[in-house]
Amino acid sequence: MATSRRISERASQIEPSATIAAAARAKLLKSQGVHVYDFTLGEPDFATPEHICEAARSAIAKGQTHYTPSSGIPELRRAIAKRYQSLGIKCEASQVIVSNGAKHSIHNVLTALCGPGDEVIIPAPYWVSYSELVKLTGATARIVETSPDAGFKMTPQEFRDTIGPNSRLLMLNSPCNPTGSVYTPDELRGLAEIVLEKDLLVLSDEIYEHLVYGSAKSAVFAALHPGLIDRTVTVSGVSKSYAMTGWRIGWAVSPVEIAQAIDSLQSQETSNPCSVSQFAALAALEGDQACVAMMLVEFARRREFVVNRLQSIPGLRIIEPHGAFYAFFSVRSHFGKRLGGRVVADSETFCSAALDSAHVALVPGSAFGAEGYVRMSFACDIVEIQQGLNRLELFLSEK
């Protein structure tokens, strides 16, 4: 009987999401009546804007609750194509595949393009799911360790030195989760030259494209050079910018033959994205964008507070984030110390001690390929942030 229940080799190799695991631990404490300062999930605390919710209610009232084309409703695909046309990418609706969130889009792209023997280049720190989704295809992730002194951004030389005979795809994320780093257009062009020279494909994850601060500017990678359009898949969605995480709508914009392969895959996997969510996403893209600007102002306020506060806490080192809504800071100076009744050996024990003793929930940097760091989401109320960081500082000052 045990043999019949054997888990496949690829499934057994997949690690659970560290961010979801950390959030689950925080949720368990909350269920026990503990007030937890939860900075784990990358989820805006804003309600989905009302005009988007109204579009969903209208779709339900009109009976738009049935199967849609596997690639998404035509109206939404056209709206997405139009948006990228305005950003300098020559694309048509046929090149757009709408999926169940950007994570699903990334899975689709990797599954359509990669397999055993292929290598996927990923700059670290990287979002926790990247390496696991690569592993699921049978391909191998080639991790490039970046330097905090370079803002955790991969240099052209680091990229070139990593490319091997089996390299097939580069995964880029700008603005970046977990670091908040934003590549400048010139920095991206430096990487693009190598992509074109080495005949590589690129998956550009631009889910945080609207969340940039100060003088930083996000760039659409595929628009930086005419030759990139035929070798780049751009992934994004509505989750972060429109506070629509639970609606699960993302998309991939790619050359037609890749889009067709993704569509075939998705038709067998999930049939189609949620019909009601698609009409809500259409309203998000075509409706008033003031809601995006409003949320950005608040995120910027929180970012400034978090950066200043963390810089004032002894023993912590933060690289200032210029995008997304995360603070990624070093806790390495606390390794070997006793905190919360235990000796801190790594970022995981640091986060466990912080949660158990201070009730501050963070995600260990080891999950992002960067031991010695932790990630804090500031996509939550600023009062909660202030109180949580006060608790963290008190916890770190204990002898």
CA distances from 91 to 82, 160, 259 (A): 8, 29, 11
Specify the pLDDT at position 220. 97
The answer to whether 360 and 212 have CB atoms below 8 angstroms apart is no
Q: What is the pLDDT of residues 278-313, one digit of tens each?
A: 999 999 999 999 999 999 999 999 999 999 999 999
C-alpha to C-alpha distance for 327 and 346, rounded to whole angstroms? 18
- The answer to whether the Cα torsion of 76, 78, 79, 81 is positive or negative is positive
Say how many CA atoms lie within 13 Å of 31 toward its Cβ.
Answer: 6
Say how many CA atoms lie within 13 Å of 332 toward its Cβ.
Answer: 11
Residues of the chain scoring pLDDT < 70: 1-4, 399
Specify the pLDDT at position 1. 42
C-alpha to C-alpha distance for 228 and 237, rounded to whole angstroms? 21
Domain ranges of the chain: 3-47+291-397, 50-286
Question: Dihedrals φ, ψ of 373, to 5°?
Answer: -120, 165
Classify 115 as helix, strand or coil: coil
Specify the pLDDT at position 250. 98
C-alpha to C-alpha distance for 167 and 241, rounded to whole angstroms? 32
Specify the pLDDT at position 3. 57
C-alpha to C-alpha distance for 295 and 47, rounded to whole angstroms? 10
The answer to whether 394 and 313 have CB atoms below 8 angstroms apart is no
Specify the pLDDT at position 271. 95
Specify the pLDDT at position 354. 96
Q: What is the pLDDT of residues 149-200, one digit of tens each?
A: 999 999 999 999 999 999 999 999 999 999 999 999 999 999 999 999 999 9
CA distances from 139 to 112, 143, 165, 387 (A): 12, 13, 14, 44
Hey, what CATH topology would domain 3-47+291-397 get?
Aspartate Aminotransferase, domain 1 (3.90.1150)
C-alpha to C-alpha distance for 122 and 120, rounded to whole angstroms? 6
The answer to whether 329 and 317 have CB atoms below 8 angstroms apart is yes
Torsion angle (degrees, nearest 10) of CA 220, 225, 230, 236: 0
- The answer to whether the Cα torsion of 143, 167, 100, 16 is positive or negative is negative
Q: Report the predicted TM-score, pTM, of the whole model to 2 decimal places.
A: 0.95
Specify the pLDDT at position 346. 96
Specify the pLDDT at position 283. 98
Hey, what CATH topology would domain 50-286 get?
Aspartate Aminotransferase; domain 2 (3.40.640)
